[in-house]
Amino acid sequence: MKELKITLFLLTALLAGAACKSQYDTLLASNNVEEKYKAAFEYFNKGRYQKAAALFESMAVLTSGTERDDTVQFYWGLSNYRYKDYFTAESNFNKFINTFPRSPFTEQARYLRIDCLYRSTLRYELDQKPTYEAMNAINEYLRDYPSSEYAGDCQAMLQDLQKRLDTKAYEGAKLYYKMEDYKASRVALRNVLKDNADNFYREDILYYIAMSSYKYAQYSVQDKQKERYLVFVDDYLNFIGEIPESPYRRELDALYARAQRALGKYSGGDERLDAGDREFEEERRSAAKK
């Protein structure tokens, strides 16, 4: 008897589920705008965004050109956004923005499209075309809505994306240094700053520029060393002139002292550089032993 009751209960539940599904499918296929419109918002408000999106999509043609047109189109995109289908939502919002540039929903649609684009960007090692697309959309949005409630979020996204581009440029140039191609390394690193003087890694870039010029001089044939050490001296003076308190200062001071001696200009009178050079050498020997 107990088993029969359980079977009946499961059968009833299955039938109810089938009836419910059939009712939704019937509504989805119907041309009754009033019922579909009401049901779509009911599903949306209950958090059933996939079903809501399907209903709003099915109404798009039926409400085209009516007073409900922009509402249906916007909530179609918003339902996909809430469902975390950001690719489809971005397409929805992009179409909405172009179709309804003066709708009350347009500002929010533009921000949500930006968020979709931002979520679709890739880590710095990969193609950065999506990053540029997102940054262009953000800059246009901030130009058109400078006082928007979303302006702070947009600025944060913009900074993160710019840092990603800075990282890609910096790491790409530094690769030459790791490969010990110091001439190419210096050129590549200088080009990074030429393209963007405010690169997030500016201090590191200036350091590796100086290190590249020093090592290029160090490993050059003797008759080329003088002019190449002079390039390092310029890079060193440029570095300490801009960032005198850098953690890299001590190492570069020691290299500067060596370069001066190689140039025949170091007299030993600067006790700070002489002591720094000796201390740096001791640290290098200690590290090598470990």
Q: What is the CATH number of the domain that holds 196?
A: 1.25.40.10
Widest CA span in the chain:
107
Q: How far is CA 116 from the centre of its chain?
A: 13
How many domains would you assign to the chain?
1
CB 226 within 8 A of CB 246: no
Read off the pLDDT band of 22 (50, 70, 90).
confident
Question: Is there a domain that residue 210 lies in?
Answer: yes
40-54, 117-131, 252-266, 276-290: which range is least confident on average?
A: 276-290
Q: Let me know if 163 is exposed, middle or buried by CB neighbors in 10 A (0-12, 13-18, 19+).
A: middle
Query: Does residue 273 have a pLDDT over 50?
Result: no
**Looking at the domain assignment, is residue 72 inside a domain?**
no
Please give the Cα distance from 235 to 224 (Å, whole number): 17
Considering Cα of 19, then 22, then 24, then 30, what sign does the dihedral take? Answer: negative
Gyration radius of the chain over CA positions: 32
d(CA 206, CA 201): 9
Q: Residue 256 corresponds to which amino acid?
A: Y
260 belongs to a structural domain: yes
Q: What pLDDT was estimated at residue 30?
A: 87
Q: Quick one: average pLDDT of 9-27?
A: 64
Domain assignment present for residue 285? The answer is yes
Of 90, 160, 178, nearest to 124 (Cα)?
A: 160
pLDDT band at 287 (very low <50, low <70, confident <90, very high): very low
Question: What pLDDT, on the 0 to 100 scale, is given for residue 5?
Answer: 53
Domain of residue 246: give its range: 182-289
DSSP state, residue 268: S
Q: Is residue 30 part of a domain?
A: no
> In this predicted structure, which of 95-99, 170-174, 223-227, 243-247 has the lowest mean pLDDT?
223-227
Within-domain flag for 197: yes
Q: What is the pLDDT of residue 10?
A: 56
pTM of the model: 0.79
* pLDDT above 90: percentage of residues in the chain: 78
Is the confidence at residue 123, as pLDDT, over 50?
yes
Q: Is the pLDDT of residue 14 over 90?
A: no
